Amino acid sequence: MKPLQNDLILRAARRQPIERTPVWMMRQAGRYLPEYRAVREGRSFLEMCKTPELATEVTLQPVDLIGVDAAIIFSDILVIPEAMGSDLELIESKGPVIHNPVRTASDVANLKVIDAVSDLSYVMDALKMTKQALDGRVPLIGFSGAPWTLLTYMVEGASSKTFRYSKSLIQDHPETAHTLLKQLSFAISDYLIAQVEAGADLIQIFDTWASALDPVHYEEFGLQYIEFIVDSLKILDVPVIVFAKGATGSLDRLSRCGAQVLGLDWTVSLDHARELTGGRVSLQGNFDPSFLYASPGAIETEVKRLLDQWGPGTGHIFNLGHGILPDVPPEHARALVQAVKKQSVRP
């Protein structure tokens, strides 16, 4: 295998000099691409995840078709709960459903203690195959959901606006919540180490539902477990991105969790976030994904605005503030990537 020909994202993550800003998009291997929909046709999301050839094929699509500076392995954050015994159904239009939610101490005790390498070997196979196929063109990102976010899906059993069951659990039975969070943290840590061994050059931890908790409860039930996981990855020398959506009020604390990069949603400006994080970390984001509905000209203007907001220094990875939406025209995604590549060139 060739060495990496484009390591911009790794250098930006480590705040080393870069010639231009690297760019990728969350959910870049997804439904907005007709080529993705063609592979997906007649297959379930989980079947795609569990078939390394298919996962590899769609992981490469945005690299070839859109020109992003990193591939992110096609998978889902809920493969860990599934391996632990959650009866999972992924309905892309509706969100995930878990038919046997975890609500009590005995539900937690009945969960399977997994071995990431063997129980999730299909993810490692997909990573190895993708790494081979990329042949050093761009880095490969591995990922996992954060313990708190995985807990909410396992406990609620479906997407939730109120997090009724998760909130009752942490308030009235905190010890049960902590047992589950610990079990998840060990599994995630092993899983991410295995991903790096299988070829991931960079790791992202998604805490999609960070905003469900106030900062004090987020510290106790979210952040301390992320910190444990990040710590366990330190020996590996791969940068870690933590994306805690909606957690602007915890950015300062997050910037001290050991991760090299923090992901941002669009509700905080890059310069304000840099201030709040004291320049301790690189920042990833934070183009509003809904602005990809606008015309390519308007997209280019908005890209320029974000690049100017950051300025010429290293430490910025261009991305959306959340996943790309399924009805965005692919040429708009290309316009964004091209604009970043063109307009961020350092003199």
Among 14, 15, 20, 27, the one annotated catalytic: 27
Compute the least distance from the CB of residue 138 to a copy of itself, in Å: 27
Closer to a copy of itself by CB, 101 or 215: give it. 215
Query: Would you state the structure tokens that stand for residue 285, as one six-digit string?
Result: 């984001």
- Answer yes or no whether residue 268 interacts with a copy of itself by CB under 8 A: yes
The answer to whether residue 280 is catalytic is no
- Answer yes or no whether residue 296 interacts with a copy of itself by CB under 8 A: no
The answer to whether residue 14 is catalytic is no
Instruction: Provide the mask over 155-184, with x wherever binding to a copy of itself is found by CB under 8 A and - wherever it is not.
Output: -------xxx--xx--xx------------
Compute the least distance from the CB of residue 38 to a copy of itself, in Å: 24
- Answer yes or no whether residue 272 interacts with a copy of itself by CB under 8 A: yes
Please tell me the distance from the alpha carbon of residue 128 to that of residue 122, in angstroms, as a whole number: 10
- Answer yes or no whether residue 321 interacts with a copy of itself by CB under 8 A: yes
The answer to whether residue 103 is catalytic is no
Task: State the Cα torsion 145-146-149-150 to the nearest 10°.
Answer: 60
> Which residues are within 8 A (CB) of 305 and not within 5 positions of it... i.e. 6 or more apart?
none
Closer to a copy of itself by CB, 19 or 308: give it. 308
Closest CA to 100 of 158, 147, 43: 158
Determine the length of the chain. 347
Please tell me the distance from the alpha carbon of residue 114 to that of residue 80, in angstroms, as a whole number: 8
Compute the least distance from the CB of residue 54 to a copy of itself, in Å: 27
Cis peptide leading into residue 286 (ω within 30°): yes
Instruction: Provide the mask over 46-85, with x wherever binding to a copy of itself is found by CB under 8 A and - wherever it is not.
Output: ----------------------------------------
Distances (CA, A) of 209 to 71, 148, 240, 244: 24, 7, 19, 7
Please tell me the distance from the alpha carbon of residue 190 to that of residue 145, in angstroms, as a whole number: 13
Closest CA to 233 of 208, 278, 200: 200
The answer to whether residue 40 is catalytic is yes
- Answer yes or no whether residue 23 interacts with a copy of itself by CB under 8 A: no
Query: Would you state the structure tokens that stand for residue 93, as one six-digit string?
Result: 């239009």
| Range in contact with a copy of itself (rule: CB under 8 A) among 25-33, 47-55, 115-123, 290-298 | 290-298
Closer to a copy of itself by CB, 107 or 219: give it. 219
Residues 199 and 131 sit within 8 Å (Cβ to Cβ): yes
Q: Return phi, psi of residue 301, to 5°.
A: -60, -45
Among 76, 119, 190, 207, the one annotated catalytic: 76
Identify the residue whose tokens are 């790494």.
131
Q: How many CB atoms lie within 10 A of CB 331?
A: 12
Residue from 11, 31, 217, 304 touching a copy of itself (CB under 8 A): that is: 217
- Answer yes or no whether residue 286 interacts with a copy of itself by CB under 8 A: yes
| Range in contact with a copy of itself (rule: CB under 8 A) among 22-30, 80-88, 102-110, 264-272 | 264-272
Residue 68 DSSP code = -
The answer to whether residue 76 is catalytic is yes
What residues act catalytically?
Answer: 27, 31, 40, 76, 153
Contact residues for a copy of itself, defined by CB under 8 A: 162-164, 167-168, 171-172, 211-217, 246-250, 252, 266-269, 272-273, 286, 288-291, 293-295, 298, 302, 305, 321, 325, 327
